[in-house]
Structure formats: C-alpha cells, structure tokens
C-alpha cells in the first residue's frame, strides 16, 4: 500500500483563499476589515521568520496587519501595556504574542492578559476551558489545521479510533478535545505510555506531536490508517554534505507511507496550515466581535 499524500501546502492555500473571500465580503457588506496584531519580543531568528510570514499573508488576504517589535530586555509591565492597548483597539480583532518570550517574562501571565475573544492562538486559559467543555472558543491553530485536513479526507470522523501522541497544551491536549468533539474515541499517548506501539497500532487516526525525530515507524501503523505528522525536527544530513541538515517529522515517512492510507509529509504538511488557521481565527474573531455569521468551514 502507498499512502495518499495529504498536501498541507495546497490545502492551506485553499483555506487562505476562503479567508480572502470572506474578508472581501466583510469589507463590501459591512465596512469591516479584520485586524491582526503580532507582538515580537527580542530577536529570535525563527520567531522573526514566522512573524514576517504571518504579516505578509495577513496583507495578502486583505486584512489589517500590525506588528509590535520590542527589545529583548523589554519589561513585563511594558509588554503588558502593549497588550492592553491592543485589547482596547476596536480595529484589532486578533492578538498574537510570539513565543517563546525572553526568560525574564512570564509567558502564562502575558498570554492570559490577552482578551480571550482576541486570543487567536487559543492559548488563554478561558479558551482552554471553553474548548475542554465543548463550548464556543478560539481554537489553537495547529490542531485546528489538523482537524480541517482530517475532515476533508474522511468526511465524518464519528466512531473512529484516534491516538494523539504527545500531551502538550499547544497541540496534544487541544487536538484530543477537537477529535472528541467530532465523536472519535480518543487516546492520548506520551513518553510514559506502556506498549505505545500496540496503542498506536489500534488507531484509525494517528496524530504525532511528540517532538522526537522519526519516532513512529511503519510497524506502529494500522494498515490504512490516516497519519497526521505535526513534528518538525532538524537532523544531520551527511548525505547532503558536511554540516548539512534536513527536516523530518515525528514519523518515519517512508515506512509509514507504505502502510498508512493517508499521510502528511514534513515539510509541506501541517506546517502551512498553522498560519492559514491563524488567519481563519482572526476572521472568526472579527465576525464574533461584530455579531456577524462566522465563516463556514473555517472554525471547529
């Protein structure tokens, strides 16, 4: 068996197109432009790349893009003041504070200072609680992207056995909640799960988000299962030359693809969906703030 490749890059482009269409309708029918503000503290290279990409794509879909770049030694009080100003700005519907923050800043305090209705990352404790109790919330972008791809591939997820490998607050736990919401039977596996291979082997859907390069092999996968690989790991690639590296997921792609029914590649799978869902969440937040119908297919 050769797995169907779930093309996250193409799917993300489709989602961005849907977002752009909805933004255009909001402007034309209601005179409203969704606004996304990104706050970056310090000069972490990876964070700078992410922020540039987010800003570029925000503008491309017709939304207002605002960036606040703060020095690495910015005080907690000054950062909280920036967040407060964005909370109070009616033209800003989504606020994202880029993580990680410098060590002297309390990430939980900062995230929970964001207005939950503008928390397009879905990390605020109020949104975590709403999601966990099945109520309307802002949903973390990466799990939302995974859910969109799974729904697109399967249609209905009802009754499927799903295993989420990883228990992080950013991916593992919210992913499990979303799958429960779509009536899957869900198991969360992690580093201390006994006989983890056997646990995973019983799954119709596997979401790997554990942060260990190529941990999941084809021997773990039930024939025909759908594999969503959230992992992005950089490993040495001596075949490309001295000092060269390459990106791999948490799954060993070649062996898993021989057994699975469908699989996301790394790169080009889940990654592109994260920013697309950030844009989708911003549109959703804008619609909710203005009492307008939410965009179909762009929310959980």
Q: 3-state SS of the chain?
A: CCCEECCHHHHHHHHHHHHHHHHHHHHHHHCCCCEEEEEEECCCHHHHHHHHHHHHHHHHCCCEEEEEEECCCCCHHHHHHHHHHHHCCCCCCEEEECCCCCCCCCHHHHHCCCCHHHECCCCCHHHHHHHHCCCCCCCCHHHHHHHHHHHHHHCCCCCCEEEEECCCCCCHHHHHHHHHHCCCEEEEECCCCCCHHHHHHCCCEEEECCCCCCCECHHHCCCCCEEEECCCEEEECHHHCCCCEEEECCECHHHHHCCCCEECCCCCCCHHHHHHHHHHHHHHHHHHHCCCCCCCCCCC
Q: Which residues are catalytic?
A: 54, 98, 121
């Amino acid at each position: 068996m050769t797995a169907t490749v779930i093309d996250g890059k193409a799917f993300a482009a489709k989602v961005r197109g849907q977002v752009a269409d909805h933004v255009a309708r909001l402007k034309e029918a209601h005179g409203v432009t969704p606004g996304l503000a990104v706050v970056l503290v310090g000069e972490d290279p990876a964070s700078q790349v992410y922020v540039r990409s987010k800003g570029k794509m925000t503008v491309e879909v017709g939304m207002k893009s605002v960036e606040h770049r703060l020095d690495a030694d910015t005080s907690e009080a000054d950062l909280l003041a920036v967040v407060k100003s964005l909370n109070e700005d009616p033209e800003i519907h989504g606020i994202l504070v880029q993580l990680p923050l410098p060590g002297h800043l309390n990430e939980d305090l900062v995230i929970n200072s964001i207005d939950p209705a503008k928390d397009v990352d879905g990390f605020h404790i109020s949104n975590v609680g709403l999601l966990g109790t099945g109520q309307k919330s802002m949903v973390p972008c990466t799990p939302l992207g995974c859910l969109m791809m799974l729904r697109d591939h399967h249609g209905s997820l009802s009754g499927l056995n799903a295993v989420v490998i990883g228990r992080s607050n950013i991916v593992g736990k919210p992913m499990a909640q979303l799958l429960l919401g779509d009536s899957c039977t869900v198991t969360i596996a992690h580093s201390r799960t006994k006989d983890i291979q056997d646990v995973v082997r019983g799954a119709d859907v596997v979401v790997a988000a554990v942060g260990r390069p190529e941990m999941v092999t084809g021997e773990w996968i039930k024939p025909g299962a759908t594999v969503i690989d959230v992992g992005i790991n950089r490993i040495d690639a001596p075949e490309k030359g001295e000092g060269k590296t390459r990106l791999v997921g948490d799954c060993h792609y070649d062996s898993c693809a021989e057994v699975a029914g469908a699989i996301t590649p790394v790169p080009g799978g889940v990654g592109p969906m994260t920013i697309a869902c950030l844009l989708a969440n911003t549109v959703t937040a804008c619609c909710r703030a203005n009492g307008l119908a939410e965009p179909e297919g762009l929310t959980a």
